[in-house]
Amino acid sequence: MNPVMVISYNSMVKNSCVRLMNTPLGTLRICGDDVGVTAVEFDDIDDFCMVGDLTTPVSMCITQLREYFEGKRTAFSVPLQPEGTQFQQKVWKALQRIPFAQKVSYRYIAEQIGARSGQRAVGNANNNNPIAILIPCHRVVGADGKLVGYAGGVWRKAWLLEHETKVAADDHLVLS
């Protein structure tokens, strides 16, 4: 991808960087540093830029997301450093345990983290998830199985779930 502009960026964390990646769902903005990826966000803004030198975690993220979209990857090993409250961190860790191509309810996640009546709080944490796809909040659906809410748009959530279902089905084909 050819960036429109490169910005010098001073940070308290050494070697912060931002890269953009074209995907079937539009542009993803990937942010991180030498420790881990801090954000993966759908970027619907026309002000595209790169920031800083490419870090290993951001490079890994780009590679693994490319493999994901190509149907060659079902799990991620990128170091993640999302910023959030203690509750949000618990929710995001629970989201990372949802198996590829599976859907769970907000209630299920609330129960997994010991907040039995915390479905709305889980929904709020999902909405504030800074690392799309790698922290798979798109796999959380309403209690009735319907697609509800997704910061990147429900149409993207539907696409991601359909993509994962197709990849999972293709992965189990037995060729004779």
Contacts for 136 with CB less than 8 Å, ≥ 6 apart: 95, 96, 98
Give residue 51's identity as a one-letter amino acid code. Answer: V
Give residue 9's identity as a one-letter amino acid code. Answer: Y
DSSP letters for 33-64: -SS-EEEEEE---S--EEESSPPHHHHHHHHH
Determine contact, residues 102/139, Cβ cutoff 8 Å: yes
Give residue 154's identity as a one-letter amino acid code. Answer: V
Q: How far apart are CA 28 and CA 34, in angstroms?
A: 19
Determine contact, residues 43/12, Cβ cutoff 8 Å: no
Determine contact, residues 138/82, Cβ cutoff 8 Å: no
Give residue 96's identity as a one-letter amino acid code. Answer: Q
Whether residue 61 lies in the annotated active site? no
- Active-site option among 17, 31, 61, 137: 137
Give me the active site residues, please: 137
